[in-house]
Structure 1
Amino acid sequence: MPEIDLNLLTALDALLAECSVTRAAQRLGLSTSAMSRTLTRLRHVTGDPLLVQAGRYMVPTPYAAKLAENVSQTVFSARTLLQPPGEAINLATTERSVVIRANEGFIDLCAAPLLQEIRQVAPNMQLLFASKSDKDVQALREGKIDLEIGVLGTNAPELKTRLLFSDRFVGICQKDHPLLQEPGITPERYIRFPHVVVSRKNKQWGPVDTALDVLGLRRKIVMSVPSYGCAINLIRHSDAIGLVPFTVLAWSDPCAEINYFELPVPTPPIKVSAIWHPRMHADPVHQWVRETIVKVSRSEFSRHTRAVLEKANVK
């Protein structure tokens, strides 16, 4: 039998999580050219492009999205074989509550498939989602929450993290908005209209403002709201412009009334991770919950990305 290079699985896991050759290379400590060659090998082995260009970004093919549902678990299982055996658990009879702090976007994205997975594998377990009013690390340290989902907002050195997926910000406006009537959305045209921002603490400065500031430009922010759902409803009924993560477009189903557009300035990716305290790292139930969340979130992110692109007729 021909030898199988299992390192390709690790590379595929990183590529499907990041949807970027550069970021996947950084994650594995490789050069961009080395990761690009690895992607070429993966395409040859699988007979599928795996990641294709969509504007300035790369998106997974349907085959790659299907692979993503299994590759992360396969990599985890392979690594587990090289570690000391842990305590055996019977998930079918395990009674346990796991407290997860996450925002509404993640809950809308993943709660339903997580519920289905738990009912099938661990019917006596509970996932208790707590509201994400802040990113205070003490809640993890003190055991008030078992797991946090979101962008790492602390430099606490002891915390463990696992990247779930990389999202990005896009602009939204009414379908017939004047901004869309002319080809090419420039920074100057972008700031010409009023803006609505989403912030739990009325924060009015973000990555897009930093990028605009470099150009000597500034948005006119007319309102701050606490959730993306509120922002979308406002955009539907006004001439204001909003800013949301790309995945929000799928669960909010706004495409019939509003359009999204790529921002005219670069912004860093939104790296959504699972974050936990080291004392829970070897706990077998916690491990299973983490891996289940990784599998479900990556699958749902890929599925929702395809759904939004299909709605917008992006090939």
Structure 2
Amino acid sequence: MAELDLNLLTALDALLAENSVTRAAQRLGLSTSAMSRTLTRLRQATGDRLLVQAGRQLVPTPYAVEIAERVHEMVGGARTLLQPRHHDVNLATVARTVVIRASDGFVDLAAAALLTEIQHTAPMIRLLFVSKTDKEATPLRDGNIDLEIGVLGTDAPELKTRVLFTDRFVGICRRHHPLLQGKGVTAERYVSFPHIVISRGKKLRGPVDHALEELGLQRRIIMSVPAYTSAVNIVSRSDIIGLVPLSVLAWFQAGFDISHFELPVTTPPIKVSLIWHPRLQADPVHRWLRETIVDVCRREYSRISQEQRET
């Protein structure tokens, strides 16, 4: 056949179950004449009479008897496939690898707490974190990654997003740094010391620099490193000044000899979001993981904020 009309299968199932054009039509809510025309099409498609007259009733041909059970199973399977999905899923038995593109800052902030939740509810799910070298939407579109966490950096219109928390930049320096003495952190004193930035490319300027420019000031950036760990380690052992999101401090302050301070200029808030492709919107496992990440991130960021207010 040049074209396959799958509606014929539903009609064939009804005809073989009822052995009657009239009753099959009633079963499917069609007129008798419409069902009679459908039977004609089925005979043309299969090359078999399917139902033949035997007195006042119709009886199936040998071929019709042979295929009746398979037709019924196929129609039942199609109906199941096309019905709304059951979203109930036994997470304890789900085995899946979920690929998440995220910065090392997120991994340090929430990965341990997220692992605890997963081991408790869905122990067979495995998380594979990959480096966030860019913000292109292509890996999400292609299915190479399942989730992205960070600042939205693409204008891809179809992507779904949900804000996890709103972060902010803070300055960091070694404990007892001269910047923290005397008059404290003013814009002028802030730019008087050398600075280090975290960048995976060659970008050295950001929101802080734009705010300083409005005051006629400029940072002297003497080093760029690709990871927060490197920056914090260098800051703790020199007079260089660093700049990190507040959430990063959750991991580093306890293990490094550093202090943090509020910036002497105002910078835009950092909206950290969960980003995914709409094809996974209704997937029950993906949806559960999204909700779990939201809960974990907000709880962890709230804890960090409280700890910083108390220090």
TM-score by length of 1: 0.70
| Separation of aligned partners in 1, 2:219 and 2:121 | 49
| Counterpart-to-counterpart distance in 1, 2:177 and 2:92 | 53
CA deviations on 1:205-251 (whole Å, 9 max, x unpaired) are 10000111112211000100111111111111111110011111121
Query: Structure 1 residue 307 and structure 2 residue 301: aligned?
Result: no
SS of match in other structure, 1:251: helix
SS of the aligned residue for 1:295 comes to helix
1:253: how far off?
2.1
1:156 paired residue number:
156
Instruction: Show the counterpart of 2:92.
Output: 92
Matched to 1:130, the amino acid is V
Judged with a 3 Å threshold, the aligned counterparts in structure 2 of structure 1 residues 85 and 183 are, in CA distance, closer, same or farther, namely farther
Q: How many residues align?
A: 228
What is the aligned partner in structure 2 of residue 275 from structure 1?
275
The runs of at least 4 consecutive aligned structure 1 residues that moved more than 6 Å come to none
Any conservation in 2 of the 1:193–1:220 contact (CA below 8 Å)? yes
Q: CA deviation at 1:254?
A: 4.9
Distance 2:102 2:143 in 1: 16
Check conservation: 1:250, 1:308, Cα contact below 8 A: no
Match of 1:10 in 2: none
Alignment map for 1:217-236 (pairs within 5 Å)? 217-236=217-236
- Tell me what 2:213 maps to: 213
AA in 1 matched with 2:172: I
Structure with bigger gyration radius = 2
* 2:257 maps to 1:261: no
- Once the two structures are superposed, residues 57-115 of structure 1 have per-residue CA deviations (whole angstroms, 9 ceiling, x without a partner) of xxxxxxxxxxxxxxxxxxxxxxxxxxx87432111111111111111111111111111
**C-alpha displacement at 1:270, in angstroms?**
1.0
2:134 matched residue in structure 1 = 134
1:258-280 Cα distance to aligned partner (Å, 9 max, x none):
21111011101111110001111
Structure 1 residue 309 displacement after superposition: 3.0
Letter in 1 for 2:225: V
Query: What amino acid sits opposite 1:87 in the alignment?
Result: H
Residue type of the alignment partner of 2:262: E
Q: 2: CA distance between counterparts of 1:89 and 1:305?
A: 35
Contact 2:236/2:256 (8 A) holds in 1:
no
Stretch moving more, 176-185 or 144-153: 176-185
Structure 2: how far apart are the matches of 1:138 and 1:168? 28
TM-score (norm 2): 0.70
Where relative contact order (Cα < 8 A, 6+ residues apart) is larger, the structure is 1
| Structure 2 residue aligned with 1:293 | 293
Q: Tell me which moved more, 284-293 or 300-309.
A: 300-309
Q: Aligned partner of 2:140: which letter?
A: L
Q: Structure 2 matches for 1:241-256, cutoff 5 A? A: 241-254=241-254
Does the CA-based 8 Å contact 1:202-1:225 persist in structure 2?
Answer: no
- The residue number in structure 2 matching 1:198 is 198
Matched-pair contact (CA < 8 Å) for 1:250–1:305: no
What secondary structure does 1:247 align onto? helix
User: Over aligned residues, Cα RMSD in angstroms?
Assistant: 1.5
CA contact (8 A) 1:179 1:185 kept: yes
Quick one: percent identity of the two aligned structures?
A: 61
CA offsets, 1:16-61, max 9 Å, x none?
xxxxxxxxxxxxxxxxxxxxxxxxxxxxxxxxxxxxxxxxxxxxxx
Distance, in Å, in 2 between the alignment partners of 1:172 and 1:202 is 21
Paired residues of 1:103 and 1:132 also in contact (CA < 8 A): yes
Question: After the TM superposition, which residues 176-195 of structure 1 pair with which residues of structure 2 at under 5 Å, given as runs?
Answer: 176-195=176-195
The whole-number CA distance in structure 1 between the counterparts of 2:122 and 2:255 is 36
* Structure 2 unmatched runs, 5+: 1-83
Q: Within 5 Å, give how 1:6-85 maps onto structure 2.
A: none
Distance in structure 2 (CA, Å) of the matches to 1:233 and 1:256: 7
Q: 1 CA distance for matches of 2:113 and 2:210?
A: 36
1:272-310 CA-partner distances (Å, limit 9, x unpaired): 110001111111111001001001111111112222333
Gaps of 5+ in 1: 1-83
Q: Take 2:263 and 2:102, find their aligned partners in 1: how far apart are those partners?
A: 26
Secondary structure of 2:123's counterpart equals: coil
Equivalents in 1 of 2:133, 2:169: separation in Å?
A: 21
